[in-house]
């Protein structure tokens, strides 16, 4: 599988589309790599900037000629169109036909929207604009005058939505659902262990997928320590802690693991048979999110719920039980307490109780 730098090299090797490719992009990616950005972050930057190149291809404007008006149009391109057909045409060095343009303007299914394969949320658009701004800053830093100053890239005003989290009882039912629903005993044990782990520790889904068996002290195929040392976002290291309940279900899953794969959570098929590299045999983030969505739908949970929602619920219900916000910040791996405050809010139930019990006219 090609990494971000390899893909950038492939793009820069083109000749017919050279007006639309970004100069010194490989050097920019190397600078990010030298600053110890994670592979996922590098991949995100490479993809986001390639989408900008595809946009230039779409409007037939070379990078050196872009204007502030083009940036305004780019925002609309990301928010209102399905950029995927245009990106594919750019990647394949194909002629941009009217059919492809029409396809990009057609309605996108809700399923594809949910998988972030077309129109983007305001936050996603801002992330892509931020990548472009960072790239323009880099050009200026290496004395290569960019066509626009980085300050010309203005973020869009994102709609502020209060994060919602399902009721505690609903989340518990979600954790338990794989045991009831999954017919395959290995899948049942694994999926239950994944959900219990997230809600026990507040780990990010990327951290769960990256978890290896040697990151947990295991003796006689059973967990012997409730602490896990994880490498989180921004390569920040921290301890997370397992509940006795989570340890039980992780051990139940370990009973099925007679293989030598290093990953803690592995698929039952797919990459296990498609590769000889044991280090890439691990469960995918998409699979976990898909299963959580399926369980939520079957349980009739109204509040949108994902792996991140379990992490959010972990923080919210710790706070409701009186946990110190600074401790929750450390458990979540946040650099700023302000970031944690977005998770640790008073739930609607908590707010209603406070109003009922403390309003002076009640």
For the chain, state the CA radius of gyration.
23
- 248 belongs to the catalytic site: no
- 88 belongs to the catalytic site: no
Question: Choosing from 75, 133, 282, 311, which is the catalytic residue?
Answer: 311
CB of 11 closer than 8 Å to CB of 21: yes
Pick from 160, 124, 176, 125: nearest CA to 310: 176
Q: Whole-angstrom Cα distance, residue 32 to residue 35? A: 5
- At residue 223, the 3 state secondary structure works out as strand
- 334 belongs to the catalytic site: yes
Pick from 184, 159, 151: nearest CA to 291: 184
Question: Choosing from 75, 192, 204, 296, which is the catalytic residue?
Answer: 204
Question: Choosing from 7, 113, 308, 330, which is the catalytic residue?
Answer: 308
Q: Whole-angstrom Cα distance, residue 69 to residue 186? A: 55
- 343 belongs to the catalytic site: yes
H helices of the chain, in order, are 4-12, 25-34, 39-59, 68-80, 84-91, 98-104, 110-114, 122-141, 168-181, 185-201, 205-210, 244-254, 271-274, 285-299, 307-320, 325-332, 337-341, 348-358
What is the maximal distance between C-alpha atoms in the chain? 74
Residue whose entry in the numeric block shows the structure tokens 């009882």: 169
Pick from 280, 262, 259: nearest CA to 270: 280
Pick from 88, 163, 148, 120: nearest CA to 339: 163
* CB-based contacts of 277, cutoff 8 Å, min separation 6: none
What residues are paired with 106 via a beta bridge? Answer: none
- 355 belongs to the catalytic site: no
Question: Choosing from 14, 233, 238, 257, which is the catalytic residue?
Answer: 233
Q: Whole-angstrom Cα distance, residue 198 to residue 201? A: 5
**How many CA atoms are closer than 13 Å to the CA of 102, on its beta-carbon side?**
3
Question: Choosing from 282, 291, 296, 334, which is the catalytic residue?
Answer: 334
- 295 belongs to the catalytic site: no
Quote the DSSP letter at residue 263.
B
Q: Which are the catalytic amino acids?
A: 204, 233, 308, 311, 334, 343
């Amino acid at each position: 599988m090609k990494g971000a730098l390899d893909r950038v090299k492939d793009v820069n090797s083109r000749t017919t589309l050279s007006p639309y490719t970004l100069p010194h992009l490989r050097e920019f990616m190397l600078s990010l790599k030298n600053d110890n950005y994670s592979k996922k972050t590098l991949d995100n930057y490479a993809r986001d900037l390639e989408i900008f190149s595809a946009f230039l291809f779409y409007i037939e404007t070379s990078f050196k000629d872009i204007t502030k008006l083009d940036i305004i149009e780019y925002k609309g391109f990301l928010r209102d169109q399905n950029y995927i057909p245009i990106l594919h045409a750019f990647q394949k060095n194909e002629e941009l036909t009217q059919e492809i343009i029409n396809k990009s303007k057609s309605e996108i299914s809700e399923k594809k929207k949910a998988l972030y394969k077309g129109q983007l949320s305001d936050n996603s658009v801002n992330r892509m604009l931020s990548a472009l701004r960072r790239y323009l800053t880099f050009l200026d830093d290496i004395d290569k005058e960019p066509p626009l100053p980085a300050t010309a890239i203005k973020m869009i005003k994102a709609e502020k939505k209060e994060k919602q989290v399902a009721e505690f009882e609903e989340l518990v039912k979600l954790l338990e659902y794989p045991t009831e629903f999954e017919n395959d005993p290995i899948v049942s044990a694994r999926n239950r262990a994944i959900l219990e782990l997230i809600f026990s520790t507040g780990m990010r889904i990327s951290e769960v997928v990256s978890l290896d068996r040697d990151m947990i002290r295991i003796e006689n195929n059973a967990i012997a320590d409730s602490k896990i040392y994880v490498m989180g976002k921004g390569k920040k290291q921290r301890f997370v802690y397992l509940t006795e309940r989570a340890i039980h279900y992780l051990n139940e899953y370990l009973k099925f693991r007679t293989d030598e794969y290093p990953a803690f959570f592995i698929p039952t098929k797919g990459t296990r048979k498609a590769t000889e590299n044991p280090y890439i045999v691990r469960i995918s983030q998409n699979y976990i999110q898909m299963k959580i969505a399926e369980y939520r739908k079957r349980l009739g949970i109204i509040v949108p719920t994902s792996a991140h929602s379990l992490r959010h619920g972990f923080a919210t219900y710790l706070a409701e039980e009186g946990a110190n916000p600074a401790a929750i910040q450390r458990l979540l791996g946040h650099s700023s307490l302000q970031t944690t405050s977005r998770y640790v809010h008073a739930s609607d139930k908590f707010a209603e109780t406070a109003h009922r019990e403390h309003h002076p006219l009640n």
